[in-house]
Every structure is written in C-alpha cells, then in structure tokens.
Amino acid sequence: MIRILLLAAAAYWLRKPENREKLERQAKQAWNRVQGREDFQDDFHDDRRW
C-alpha cells in the first residue's frame, strides 16, 4: 500500500517539466560520480567552501 502511495506521489511530482529536468540533471550527476568523472557541473557544491 505504501509503495502505491509513493509511486503516485512521484508520478504527480514528475508532471511538472522543471521537476523532470531537475531529476534528469541529478541522475546524470550521480552517474558521473559513479563513473569517477569530474567533468560535470555540480550546482550544489559550487558555492560550498571547505
């Protein structure tokens, strides 16, 4: 039952084009991290100073 609710919530959230683009961008960034590539634009970490 919870799975159905989660899937319905995700489908509703993905109806907006900007949400789909955001998810696609984040998936590409995650895949690049898995592959060990550093040639991707990481918007979240650009302003973070360590």
> The pTM is what?
0.54
Q: What is the pLDDT of residue 10?
A: 92
Where does the pLDDT of residue 2 fall: very low under 50, low under 70, confident under 90, or very high at 90 and above?
very high
Domain locations along the chain = 1-35
Residue 47 scores a pLDDT above 70: no
The two structure tokens encoding residue 15: 């109806």
The two structure tokens encoding residue 6: 């989660």
How far is it, in rounded angstroms, from Cα 18 to Cα 29?
16
Contact 28, 34 (CB under 8 A): no
pLDDT in tens, 5-46: 999 999 999 999 999 999 999 999 998 888 886 655 555 555
Where does the pLDDT of residue 50 fall: very low under 50, low under 70, confident under 90, or very high at 90 and above?
very low
